[in-house]
Chain A
Amino acid sequence: GAGVSQSPSNKVTEKGKDVELRCDPISGHTALYWYRQSLGQGLEFLIYFQGNSAPDKSGLPSDRFSAERTGGSVSTLTIQRTQQEDSAVYLCASSPRTGVKNIQYFGAGTRLSVL
């Protein structure tokens, strides 16, 4: 596609429910990143994919968070048993390969609200 697409754009859920957030990267981009942004804060790294493998999961805040990527394209971030502190904007980014001016192309994010 023309840009990184994320869905849904907004998600409201009840505490304890599971949610799935989807990211469609730019076609041909091999690297994919998930970040979390709390209100008025910077971006917090969650996980990075190169192709379908995730060499760096160091940012996942707990074992309730998991992510997968299939076919070297679409990625899904799953949050199980959501908590109120999970409320944030979840941003996905992709890049053609790593190390090129550090340029990452971001989607507009999914705003998650846990009630």
Chain B
Amino acid sequence: GQSLEQPSEVTAVEGAIVQINCTYQTSGFYGLSWYQQHDGGAPTFLSYNALDGLEETGRFSSFLSRSDSYGYLLLQELQMKDSASYFCAVRAPRGANNLFFGTGTRLTVIP
């Protein structure tokens, strides 16, 4: 089966940098994804790593270490609008195509 662990809550100051960690266990690995969800809103795709290393998309970066079954999402120059829940997700094993999500990290950005 699959399991993902991420911190339940993180608080950071506007303009700062925050890192949200995710460790996973999965039988078969098909990439680690990150989604953002504002309260009452739809989850939206942020980033994806299939190979080890860092992927950068504007203020957001995501890192993956397959040997450590670990990844993180890095948010730079935090803005108040970044306050949301962030989910890491892995694809289910071959033959299934749904995503398996962690329980999410609620990020609160304070002035």
Contacts and interface: CB of A to CB of B under 8 A. Distances in A.
A57 to B, nearest CB: 11
A106 B99 contact: no
A42 B33 contact: no
A104 interface: yes
Contact of B45 (A99, A104, A108): A104
Interface of B: 30-31, 33, 40-45, 48, 50, 87, 89, 91-92, 95-104
Question: By DSSP majority rule, is chain B's interface helix, strand, loop, or mixed?
Answer: loop
B62 to A, nearest CB: 12
A102 B33 contact: yes
B23 to A, nearest CB: 14
Contact of A48 (B33, B50, B96): B96
B87 A102 contact: no
12 contacts: A33-B97, A35-B98, A43-B89, A43-B101, A55-B95, A55-B96, A91-B42, A99-B91, A101-B48, A102-B89, A102-B99, A104-B45
B97 A98 contact: yes
B97 A48 contact: yes
A31 B97 contact: yes
Counting chain B CB atoms within 10 Å of each CB, the highest count among A42, A48, A99, A101 belongs to A42
B99 A99 contact: no
A45 B42 contact: no
A26 B25 CA distance: 31
Counting chain B CB atoms within 10 Å of each CB, the highest count among A31, A48, A99, A102 belongs to A102
A8 B39 CA distance: 18
A102 B42 contact: no
Contacts of A99: 30, 91, 97
A84 interface: no
A4 interface: yes
A65 interface: no
A68 to B, nearest CB: 17
Contact of A41 (B33, B92, B99, B103): B103
